[in-house]
Amino acid sequence: MTPSLSVQLYSLGSLPARQPHEVVERLAELGYAGVEPVIARGSDAMLEWARSMGAPEMEPVDLVALRAALDAHGMVAPSSHCMLPEGDEAEAILDEQEALGSTRLVVPALFDAEAGTVEAFDDLDRIKRLAERFNAAAERARPRGIRIGYHNHFWEFATDFDGRSGLERFYELCEPDVFAEVDVYWAQLGGRDPVDLLASLGDRVELLHVKDGDGRPEPSCPLGEGVVDVRGVLDAAPSATWHVVELEGLDEEQVWPVLAQSHDFLVGSGLSIGRAGADAGA
């Protein structure tokens, strides 16, 4: 099955919060089938971190307005970025997922509240504790038909454990239904060949963040014009059901043509399906 195409709304900065209907309408016109919003419930640290990573004007998206826009334009939100559902906010986080119609909750980073930093993958005991937290969250979410996943950046590859990265060690300790959303560009910048990584993770990979650039963290470029072997990485992940286009460091005028070019490259190359594949990929 050829995966469907989605857009990580982080790529558009504050636009999804300010103009949800206009953003969804325009993405539908470009041919995308879904979106992946960032939901900040459970931690103000997520928004602060997102701003530090290139979205200085980012604001929480009104999920009711977003769902209405998606329904109006025949689109879906198969996944969203959110804090791990644990602690006092756990049930509210899962409630929002159900309201949005999202069945895949992706954790983009885990925060060490005391240190004010993201959790590193540099120690096996720490990795074991992180996996235990994910397994507990997966057990909580499972009765609702929601699954828990993790999205990598570059720091998960900084430490080598007998030829295995911290990310791979983490998934070895997770329950089978804890899935991977692999950001192929961050993996490459972290020194891990994304094709080899995807082969290593196998069926654990359900979502891909497809991104390209010149070897710097940002700005992104249209897919197929940078250093990533896009066809190679997508061929290496046959279990992925959605390809999620994400862009870094582009302003509102720059982002739309790059989204259009990236869509046309993927669909024209037969690597992904646009709106026609929404039902199959959901």
Apex 95 CA angle, 94 and 101, nearest 5: 90
Tokens of 180: 């991977």
Mean pLDDT taken over the chain:
92
- Answer whether CATH 3.20.20.150 is correct for domain 4-281: yes
Least reliable range by pLDDT among 52-56, 138-142, 179-183, 267-271:
52-56
Tell me the pLDDT tens digit for each residue of 210-244: 999 999 999 999 999 999 999 999 999 999 999 99
Report how far residue 111's alpha carbon sits from residue 125's, in angstroms, rounded to the nearest whole number.
Answer: 16
Note whether 192 and 157 are within 8 A (CB).
Answer: yes
Report how far residue 4's alpha carbon sits from residue 244's, in angstroms, rounded to the nearest whole number.
Answer: 8
pLDDT of residue 280: 40
| 110-132: average pLDDT | 87
pLDDT of residue 274: 92
pLDDT of residue 41: 65
pLDDT of residue 216: 96
| 95-108: average pLDDT | 95
Tell me the pLDDT tens digit for each residue of 43-54: 566 566 656 655
Report how far residue 31's alpha carbon sits from residue 200's, in angstroms, rounded to the nearest whole number.
Answer: 32
Distances (CA, A) of 134 to 55, 157, 173, 189: 27, 19, 10, 25
Amino acid letter at 186?
W
pLDDT of residue 118: 84
pLDDT of residue 281: 44
pLDDT at residue 30 is higher than 60: yes
Q: Where are the domains of the chain?
A: 4-281
Tell me the pLDDT tens digit for each residue of 145-197: 999 999 999 999 999 999 999 999 999 999 999 999 999 999 999 999 999 99
Amino acid letter at 78?
P
Tokens of 97: 């997922």
pLDDT of residue 275: 87
pLDDT of residue 46: 59
